[in-house]
Each structure stands twice: as C-alpha cells, then as structure tokens.
Amino acid sequence: MKYQEFHRRSLQDREGFWAGEAKLVEWHKPFKQVLDYSKPPFAKWFVGGETNLCHNAVDRHLAKRADQKALVWISTEVNEEKSFTYKELHLEVNRVAAMMRSLGVKRGDRVIVYMPMIPEAVFAILACARIGAVHSVVFGGFAAASLAARIDDAKPSLMITADGGSRMGKVVLYKALVDESLRLAQHPPKKVLLFNRGLDPSLSFVKGRDVDWNEAKPKRASVPCEWLESSTPSYILYTSGTTGHPKGVQRDVGGYCVALASSMKRIFCGEPGETMFTTSDIGWVVGHSYIIYAPLIAGMTTILYEGVPIRPDAGIWWKIVEDHKVAVMFSAPTAIRVLKKHDVSFLRKHDLSSLKHLYLAGEPLDEPTHTWITQALGRPVIDHYWQTETGWPLLSAVPGVERTPLKMGSPSFPVYGYDVHLLHERTGKPVADGEKGVVTITPPLPPGCMTTVWGDDERFVRTYFKDFKNIYSTFDWGIRDKDGYYFILGRTDDVINVAGHRLGTREIEEAVSMHSNVAECAVVGVVDSLKGQMPLAFAVLKDASKGTSQQEIMETVDKQLGAIARPKAVHFVTLLPKTRSGKTLRRSIQALAEGRDPGDLTTIEDPTALEQIRKALQ
Ligand code: PRX
C-alpha cells in the first residue's frame, strides 16, 4: 500500500485502524471501545481492555522463544558481557517483582529507578510493569537536587538504585547522591533497594531504610502479571519545558503497548528473533521505548550498552553490530558527529551485513552528517522526529509500509495516527509549503502519547493546548517542502538539546541562581558543532568585589542539575537586556552569541545591556 493512503486511513477511520494495530499485542480482556474522546483533549485508548506491558514484553514469548536471547548487556566500562534468554529474563523479573512486593510496593505506587545501564535496571522497570507499579526512571546524570524535585513530585514508595556507574572508565558514585537527594526531599520513600555491583568500596547502608538487593532477592519467585485497564498509568518520565519545574509525562499501558508494537513492525522493521541496538540511556524516552519495551514486545533481542562510542576505540558500536548481528540500530546525531571525527575504517573493518537500517533521532540531523553516515554504511539512515511526550515517532519514513525515498536532513512525513499541521505562530493558520510554522498535532493524540502531566491535568492542557486553541503544540519549528517532506528547525521555547539531552534553559538559570552571589542570570543555547547546542550563561553578581569565578558557577550547576547542564562559559555582566516590561531578551542574547542579528530591539529598556553582552562575547 502507498504510505500516504495508509496515513490517510489512520486518520479517516481512526478506530478501525487502531483496532487492527491492537491485534499486535495480547489482551487479557478485550477492549470495549477503541477510543473515548468525550473529554478533549484527554484521549483514552482501548477502553475496558486489560493487558500488561511486562506480559507482552516477556511472558508472552515464553511459548515460542524461551531460549532465545532477550537481553544482551555489554559494558566496555567494566569489561563485562552477560546475556539473558526470555526464560532467564522472566525469572529475574519475577524475583525482583517479589522483592518489591515484600517491600510493600502495591499496584499504583510509584517507584523511582535511579540506576546505571545495567541489566538490573531493566529487571526493575519490567518488575514495576508486572505488578502495576508506576516507574519513574531518573537519568543517572542528574544531580541530587534534581532527583529530589522528581521524588517530591512522584512521592514514591520505593527507590531502586545501585552503588554506582562508570563513564569513560571513571566510577560515578550514586549512593552518596541518593542519600543527599533523600535528605533534600520532602517526600522521601521509606525504602531504598540498593544493588551493589562492587564499584564503591565505602558503600554504606542506612539501617531500616536501605535494603541490599543481593541479599533480599529470592532464588525463585512467581509473581503473576497484574491485569491493568488500558488507561492505567504505566510510567512517569520527567522532562524539561519552559518553566524550571520538570513535567511528569504520564503514559498509559494499552495505548503505549500497541503504539510500540505497531512502530516496530511499520517504522523500525524489527522482526522477532532479530537484534536491536539502541544507544540511548534508560533514563530517556528513547531508552524506555526502544531499548526496553518495543524490542522485547516484538520478541527481539535487545542490547543494553554501558559505555561510550569511542572506547576502547571508535569501532566499538560496529563491532557490537557484527558480533550480535544487529538488524536495527537506533542512535542520535551527536554520536554520529563524534564518530565522523574518526577514520571511517573503524566502521568499514566490521561486517555490517546484518544491519537493515540505522535510525537517528533526538536532535536535528544535519545534512553533512546524514550524508556521511549513509555513505559509510551503505544503508538507509532514517532521521525521525519525536518527543518524550509522544513516546514514539511523530515524523518518519515508514519503510514497513512503503520504501519512500529519503531526503538528507529531513525526517520525512507525519507518521500514521498523527494529524500534523504546520501553523503560523501568530495567526494559527496553516502555512504554505516552504514557509516556517510550528509543528502541531490536531488531537486526539494517537495511542502511546502522553495522557496527561502526572498529578496535574490542568498543566497538561495549559502547556500543550493553549498556544493554538485546543491543538497540541510540539514547540518545534518546521517547514514542509513541495514534496511533503518536513524539516525541523529547532524549538520555539526555552528548551535546548545538548548532545541529545533535553534541558530547559530556565532550569539551568535556576541552578545558576542557587549560587549565593548571583543576583540574576540568563541562559541561552548556542550552536555547537559536536553537541548540537550548549548552554551559555550571563550572570549579574550581587557583589562583584567578591571575585566569584566562572568555575564556581559551573560547580553550582553540576551540584544542582548535573554536569550535563554545565554552561560552556559564564559571562559576568552588570545588567541583562530586558524589555520595558521586564522580560529578558533571551532571543537577542542567543542571536548575538551565535553571531546573528539581535532582531527587533524597539522594546529594550537599556541598550547598553546588549553592548555588555557583545563585549563579553568578544
Ligand atoms: O526539538 C525536538 C528534538 O528533540 C525534542 C524532543 O526531545 P526529547 O523529549 O528528549 O525526545 C527525544 C525523542 C527522540 C524535540 O521537541 N528532536 C527530536 N528528534 C528530532 C529533533 N529535532 C530535529 N530532528 C529530529 N529528528
């Protein structure tokens, strides 16, 4: 079938279309209604149906593929490799589920998972899904204060963590940070389940609170899957937005399961028994969807990689592809830009004949990088665009339906199920081909997308459906060419993308402001040839004579948010450019920092502020 026709059908006959896709997953109880859209913009998919993500990812495969590898863990950090068949994964997940139950975790309880890229993290996540606990995985790069903010929002009954991780061969200790976050939090969980992998010689357990995973884990256990109504929350994943306060993106069970199963078939072309290698982290949405759930739901072998792309050398990923006959690979443009700096022979020396496609997402894929990797691999490299909010691709080629030609630098077309329109920023009217507009989705959002903001329905509506009346805004600029191909031009809000990590400049500003000598500050994202964007800070000090250094500010950010958010530089100024009504002119600052025209300055209060920025940048 031609793809455009397929897409049209998915919107014209929404219910018929998704009822068909829903056959890709196993239901304990069939749904009564495909879509309940009686309370827009809240969409409930597969109403009355009961299923379980862990059942679909694990138990379901025991009949046919019990001895097939489900999970392969490769760590070039601690030089270990382990694999688990579906049968073994089932056992491990049951053991962890039993442990969680014995610690009092009930259906609907939240569990924070703060873990490095180890198999135990996958067991913990699947065990939550199994018993109907809502997991909230926090990326290991976030600092204690960020973790505490997420704890206070989710109010978990349990936290699962490990002694540490490792990055570039250096141990990163988790436990002290976890202790600190629990001290800072207003709603700390009563119990902490701690997996000791032997990286921290001075690891300590808090009596009565911390439970040793290795001791508590039963030898055998059988914990049946909880059958959950389709709209039951499956997880919360915090993401950055315009405010300093992270948003808890909430997802359901049934819609997510169907969307992922469908995407594996139609977009990623992953067949049962094949291997998928996604290079993200379990703390991000790509890790949730395409390291853990989707490949397992599809009966594939998934690879969990702890390490960086250039250690021991720039051939490591391609070695993994060769050794494990990877068929589907998913990575981010930043990583490819890093690899592009190394000799292409690192790639060429490996047998990559198993690889069907490489998928890239998370940030704009520039044309030179897209061309380089396509030529190096001799395979289609599929740029696709989506967000934590959507959970699965929004714009992409859909080769499982039709092999449409790819255009370099474009994530192709709207994915089926998504009613995408580019709207004019001010008028809200659709823009013409070749004109820039905001990428929007006319609701209902398809299955798999966020169902609300955790604990705050009103914030969901206010955040996403207000700029364009009752239409979902992605907060990304886009443009469509005459052939219908989309190009993403960057965010319309204060979110920046640093090496594929999504960060809010407001969050970084709040972190900078935690330094006792900072009166106010502005953080903007500036183009970086490797990382896509980097934060750049401008700070006004309370007392300039105190000699506050750039280093001190950077350390404050490390401590508040994590080193991933550390500004590239901190410039000290005596005032920030503001409008007469007091709004900081971030766009103008950003433009200057990127060597562009600062734009309309008729509303500026004091033009000398901009002069200071100019000088500081020199
Ligand atoms: O700005 C877009 C950018 O990343 C944002 C979403 O980031 P996150 O929530 O971390 O989810 C990543 C899921 C892959 C988007 O709003 N983005 C993502 N993919 C692309 C992209 N920008 C350009 N091209 C892409 N392919």
Ligand 1 pocket residue status of 362, Cβ below 6 Å: yes
Over residues 38-83, the pLDDT tens digits come to 999 999 999 999 999 999 999 999 999 999 999 999 999 999 999 9
User: Ligand 1, atom 26: nearest CA belongs to which residue?
Assistant: 385
Q: To the nearest whole percent, how much of the chain has pLDDT over 90?
A: 94
Domain match, 310 and 412 both: yes
Of 249, 367, 497, which is best to mutate to test ligand 1, by the most ligand atoms within 8 angstroms of its C-beta?
497
The pLDDT of residue 216 is: 97
The pLDDT of residue 602 is: 84
In 3D, which of 278, 281, 268, 276 has the Cα closest to residue 295? 276
- Find the DSSP H helices in 450-568: 457-464, 505-513, 550-560
Over residues 230-277, the pLDDT tens digits come to 999 999 999 987 777 889 999 999 999 999 999 999 999 999 999 999
User: Ligand 1, atom 11: nearest CA belongs to which residue?
Assistant: 387
Peptide bond preceding 188 in cis form (omega within 30 of 0): no
Domain match, 150 and 281 both: yes
- Find the DSSP H helices in 103-192: 119-131, 144-154, 175-184
The pLDDT of residue 318 is: 98
Distance 425 CA to ligand 1 centre (A): 19
Domain match, 115 and 246 both: yes
Distance 385 CA to ligand 1 centre (A): 6
The pLDDT of residue 241 is: 79
The pLDDT of residue 479 is: 97
**Ligand 1, closest atom to CA 395?**
26
Centroid of chain to Cα 332: 11
C-alpha span between 320 and 317 (Å, rounded): 5
Distance 495 CA to ligand 1 centre (A): 10
Return phi, psi of residue 367, to 5°: -60, -45
Establish if 486 belongs to a structural domain: no
Ligand 1 pocket residue status of 390, Cβ below 6 Å: no
Ligand 1 pocket residue status of 491, Cβ below 6 Å: yes
Q: Which of 364, 392, 417 is the last residue of a domain?
A: 417
**Ligand 1, closest atom to CA 332?**
14
Return phi, psi of residue 165, to 5°: -125, -170
**Ligand 1, closest atom to CA 500?**
10
Calculate mean pLDDT across residues 337-356: 96
Domain match, 373 and 270 both: yes
Distance 477 CA to ligand 1 centre (A): 11
Ligand 1 pocket residue status of 241, Cβ below 6 Å: no
∠ CA(11), CA(15), CA(16), 5° rounding? Answer: 95
Establish if 449 belongs to a structural domain: no
Whether the CA torsion 455, 459, 465, 469 is positive or negative: it is positive
Calculate mean pLDDT across residues 556-572: 94
**Ligand 1, closest atom to CA 491?**
1
**Ligand 1, closest atom to CA 495?**
1
Ligand 1 pocket residue status of 385, Cβ below 6 Å: yes
Ligand 1 pocket residue status of 410, Cβ below 6 Å: no
Calculate mean pLDDT across residues 142-153: 95
Mean pLDDT of all residues belonging to the chain: 96
Distance 363 CA to ligand 1 centre (A): 5
CB atoms within 10 A of CB 367: 14
Ligand 1 pocket residue status of 288, Cβ below 6 Å: no
**Ligand 1, closest atom to CA 490?**
1
Q: Within 13 A of 466's CA, how many CA atoms are on the CB side? A: 6
Establish if 133 belongs to a structural domain: yes
Domain match, 531 and 411 both: no
Distance 386 CA to ligand 1 centre (A): 5
Q: What is the CATH number of the domain that holds 323?
A: 3.40.50.12780
Q: Which of 391, 417, 443 is the last residue of a domain?
A: 417
User: Ligand 1, atom 6: nearest CA belongs to which residue?
Assistant: 387
Establish if 448 belongs to a structural domain: no
The pLDDT of residue 1 is: 62
The partner residues of 538 in beta bridges, in order of sequence, read: 522, 571
The pLDDT of residue 7 is: 98
Domain match, 83 and 201 both: yes
Over residues 2-36, the pLDDT tens digits come to 999 999 999 999 999 999 999 999 999 999 999 99
Tell me the residue range of the domain where 134 lies: 3-40+50-417
Calculate mean pLDDT across residues 342-350: 96
Over residues 311-336, the pLDDT tens digits come to 999 999 999 999 999 999 999 999 99
**Ligand 1, closest atom to CA 239?**
9
Confidence of residue 361 (pLDDT cuts 50, 70, 90): very high
Count of domains forming the chain: 2
Domain match, 510 and 402 both: no
DSSP of 371-408, one letter per residue? HHHHHHHTS-EEE-B--TTTSS-SEE--TTT--PPP-T
Establish if 595 belongs to a structural domain: yes
Q: Looking at 156-165, 253-262, 602-611, which range is the least confident one?
A: 602-611
Calculate mean pLDDT across residues 280-291: 97
Domain match, 534 and 391 both: no
The pLDDT of residue 568 is: 96
**Ligand 1, closest atom to CA 497?**
4
Distance 281 CA to ligand 1 centre (A): 15
C-alpha span between 471 and 444 (Å, rounded): 9
Establish if 262 belongs to a structural domain: yes
Confidence of residue 603 (pLDDT cuts 50, 70, 90): confident
Q: To the nearest whole percent, how much of the chain has pLDDT over 70?
A: 100
Ligand 1 pocket residue status of 386, Cβ below 6 Å: yes
Ligand 1 pocket residue status of 239, Cβ below 6 Å: yes
Distance 528 CA to ligand 1 centre (A): 16
Q: Residue 366: pLDDT above 80?
A: yes
Distance 416 CA to ligand 1 centre (A): 18
User: Ligand 1, atom 16: nearest CA belongs to which residue?
Assistant: 387
Q: Residue 525: pLDDT above 70?
A: yes
Establish if 482 belongs to a structural domain: no
Domain match, 382 and 506 both: no
Ligand 1 pocket residue status of 497, Cβ below 6 Å: yes
Residues 238/150, Cβ–Cβ less than 8 Å: yes
Residues 16/35, Cβ–Cβ less than 8 Å: no
Over residues 238-247, the pLDDT tens digits come to 998 777 788 9
Domain match, 404 and 522 both: no
**Ligand 1, closest atom to CA 411?**
26
What residues contact 405, with CB distance under 8 A and at least 6 apart? none
Distance 584 CA to ligand 1 centre (A): 26
Confidence of residue 202 (pLDDT cuts 50, 70, 90): very high
The structure's pTM equals 0.95
Domain match, 392 and 506 both: no
Q: Which of 417, 434, 449 is the last residue of a domain?
A: 417
Q: What is the CATH number of the domain that holds 560?
A: 3.30.300.30
Domain match, 271 and 141 both: yes
Establish if 608 belongs to a structural domain: yes
